[in-house]
Amino acid sequence: MYKGDVEPETAFNRLLEGGSAVLIDVRTLPEWSFVGLPLVDNLIRLSWQIYPSMEVDPDFAGKVRELGVPEDADIFMLCRSGVRSAHAATALTQAGYKNAYNVAGGFEGDKDEDGHRGNLNGWKHAGLPWAQG
Protein backbone atom coordinates (compact mmCIF):
# COMPACT_ATOMS: atom_id res chain seq x y z
CA MET A 1 0.00 0.00 0.00
CA TYR A 2 1.17 3.51 -0.77
CA LYS A 3 1.63 6.27 1.82
CA GLY A 4 -1.90 7.66 1.47
CA ASP A 5 -4.36 9.83 -0.43
CA VAL A 6 -3.95 13.60 -0.35
CA GLU A 7 -6.13 16.40 -1.60
CA PRO A 8 -4.87 18.27 -4.67
CA GLU A 9 -4.27 21.42 -2.60
CA THR A 10 -2.06 19.48 -0.19
CA ALA A 11 0.04 18.10 -3.04
CA PHE A 12 0.30 21.52 -4.69
CA ASN A 13 1.40 23.23 -1.48
CA ARG A 14 4.02 20.56 -0.80
CA LEU A 15 5.34 20.96 -4.36
CA LEU A 16 5.63 24.71 -3.82
CA GLU A 17 7.94 24.06 -0.88
CA GLY A 18 10.50 22.69 -3.31
CA GLY A 19 13.05 20.11 -2.31
CA SER A 20 12.80 16.70 -3.90
CA ALA A 21 8.97 16.56 -4.06
CA VAL A 22 7.63 15.69 -7.52
CA LEU A 23 4.27 15.32 -9.21
CA ILE A 24 4.09 12.37 -11.60
CA ASP A 25 1.21 12.66 -14.05
CA VAL A 26 0.53 9.05 -15.04
CA ARG A 27 -2.08 9.78 -17.70
CA THR A 28 -1.50 9.23 -21.42
CA LEU A 29 -0.23 11.55 -24.16
CA PRO A 30 -3.75 12.16 -25.53
CA GLU A 31 -4.94 13.20 -22.05
CA TRP A 32 -2.01 15.57 -21.60
CA SER A 33 -2.59 17.01 -25.07
CA PHE A 34 -6.37 17.40 -25.03
CA VAL A 35 -7.37 17.68 -21.37
CA GLY A 36 -4.47 19.70 -20.00
CA LEU A 37 -1.55 19.59 -17.60
CA PRO A 38 -1.00 20.77 -14.05
CA LEU A 39 1.38 23.73 -13.92
CA VAL A 40 4.06 22.91 -11.36
CA ASP A 41 7.84 23.06 -11.58
CA ASN A 42 8.51 19.46 -10.55
CA LEU A 43 6.19 17.74 -13.03
CA ILE A 44 7.09 14.38 -14.58
CA ARG A 45 4.89 13.01 -17.35
CA LEU A 46 5.17 9.22 -17.28
CA SER A 47 2.26 7.04 -18.35
CA TRP A 48 1.24 4.19 -16.07
CA GLN A 49 -0.50 2.52 -19.00
CA ILE A 50 0.82 2.46 -22.55
CA TYR A 51 -1.52 4.10 -25.08
CA PRO A 52 -3.41 2.84 -27.07
CA SER A 53 -3.33 -0.72 -25.67
CA MET A 54 -3.63 0.61 -22.09
CA GLU A 55 -1.41 -2.19 -20.82
CA VAL A 56 0.40 -1.34 -17.61
CA ASP A 57 4.02 -0.36 -18.25
CA PRO A 58 5.95 -3.18 -16.53
CA ASP A 59 9.01 -0.91 -16.15
CA PHE A 60 7.18 2.08 -14.67
CA ALA A 61 9.14 2.06 -11.39
CA GLY A 62 12.39 1.52 -13.27
CA LYS A 63 11.70 4.58 -15.39
CA VAL A 64 11.02 6.68 -12.27
CA ARG A 65 14.36 5.47 -10.91
CA GLU A 66 16.11 6.31 -14.21
CA LEU A 67 14.73 9.85 -13.95
CA GLY A 68 16.65 10.23 -10.70
CA VAL A 69 13.72 10.50 -8.31
CA PRO A 70 15.13 9.71 -4.85
CA GLU A 71 13.49 6.85 -2.94
CA ASP A 72 12.78 9.16 0.01
CA ALA A 73 11.23 11.97 -2.08
CA ASP A 74 7.58 12.94 -1.63
CA ILE A 75 6.03 11.63 -4.85
CA PHE A 76 2.50 12.72 -5.70
CA MET A 77 0.81 10.58 -8.34
CA LEU A 78 -1.94 12.09 -10.52
CA CYS A 79 -4.28 10.61 -13.14
CA ARG A 80 -7.78 11.52 -14.36
CA SER A 81 -9.70 10.55 -11.22
CA GLY A 82 -7.25 8.89 -8.83
CA VAL A 83 -7.56 5.22 -9.81
CA ARG A 84 -4.53 4.68 -12.07
CA SER A 85 -2.41 6.92 -9.86
CA ALA A 86 -3.27 4.80 -6.81
CA HIS A 87 -2.03 1.71 -8.66
CA ALA A 88 1.13 3.55 -9.72
CA ALA A 89 1.75 4.73 -6.14
CA THR A 90 1.41 1.14 -4.95
CA ALA A 91 3.91 -0.04 -7.56
CA LEU A 92 6.43 2.60 -6.49
CA THR A 93 5.99 1.65 -2.86
CA GLN A 94 6.60 -2.00 -3.73
CA ALA A 95 9.75 -0.89 -5.59
CA GLY A 96 11.15 0.75 -2.46
CA TYR A 97 9.85 4.32 -2.63
CA LYS A 98 8.88 5.45 0.86
CA ASN A 99 6.60 8.44 0.25
CA ALA A 100 4.38 7.72 -2.75
CA TYR A 101 1.01 9.47 -2.44
CA ASN A 102 -2.12 9.39 -4.56
CA VAL A 103 -3.76 12.73 -5.43
CA ALA A 104 -7.42 12.10 -4.56
CA GLY A 105 -9.83 13.05 -7.31
CA GLY A 106 -7.02 13.22 -9.87
CA PHE A 107 -6.84 15.97 -12.49
CA GLU A 108 -10.46 15.96 -13.66
CA GLY A 109 -12.26 14.50 -10.66
CA ASP A 110 -15.09 12.04 -10.29
CA LYS A 111 -18.21 12.13 -12.45
CA ASP A 112 -21.18 14.06 -11.13
CA GLU A 113 -24.81 12.88 -11.36
CA ASP A 114 -24.88 13.99 -15.02
CA GLY A 115 -21.72 12.05 -15.86
CA HIS A 116 -19.52 15.17 -16.10
CA ARG A 117 -16.07 15.48 -14.58
CA GLY A 118 -14.64 18.66 -13.06
CA ASN A 119 -17.64 19.55 -10.90
CA LEU A 120 -16.99 17.54 -7.73
CA ASN A 121 -13.30 17.30 -6.99
CA GLY A 122 -9.86 17.08 -8.54
CA TRP A 123 -7.02 19.41 -9.48
CA LYS A 124 -9.01 21.53 -11.93
CA HIS A 125 -12.05 21.81 -9.63
CA ALA A 126 -9.75 23.02 -6.83
CA GLY A 127 -8.72 25.95 -9.03
CA LEU A 128 -5.06 24.94 -9.08
CA PRO A 129 -2.89 26.11 -11.98
CA TRP A 130 -3.14 24.16 -15.21
CA ALA A 131 -2.91 24.73 -18.93
CA GLN A 132 -4.33 23.16 -22.04
CA GLY A 133 -1.77 20.75 -23.50
**For position 16, which CATH number holds?**
3.40.250.10
Q: Is residue 40 part of a domain?
A: yes
Q: Can you give the residue range of the structural domain that contains 117? A: 4-125
CB 119 within 8 A of CB 3: no
Alpha carbons within 13 angstroms on the beta-carbon side of residue 72 total: 1
**Does pLDDT of 83 surpass 90?**
yes
Model confidence pLDDT, tens digit, residues 18-61: 899 999 999 999 999 999 999 999 999 999 999 999 999 999 99
Mean pLDDT across 64-70: 98
Please state the rounded mean pLDDT for residues 77-92: 98
Per-residue confidence (pLDDT) for residue 104, from 0 to 100:
97
Please check whether residue 131 is in contact with residue 37, taking contact to mean a CB–CB distance below 8 angstroms.
yes
pLDDT at 133 over 80: no
Asked if residue 105 is part of any domain, the answer here is yes
Please report whether residue 104 resides in a domain: yes
- Cα 21 from Cα 108, distance rounded (Å): 22
| 132 lies in some domain | no
Residue 84 lies in a domain: yes
Kindly state whether residue 31 falls inside one of the protein's structural domains. Answer: yes
71 DSSP assignment: T
Residue 133 lies in a domain: no
131: in domain: no
Query: How many domains would you assign to the chain?
Result: 1
Residue 101: the pLDDT is 98
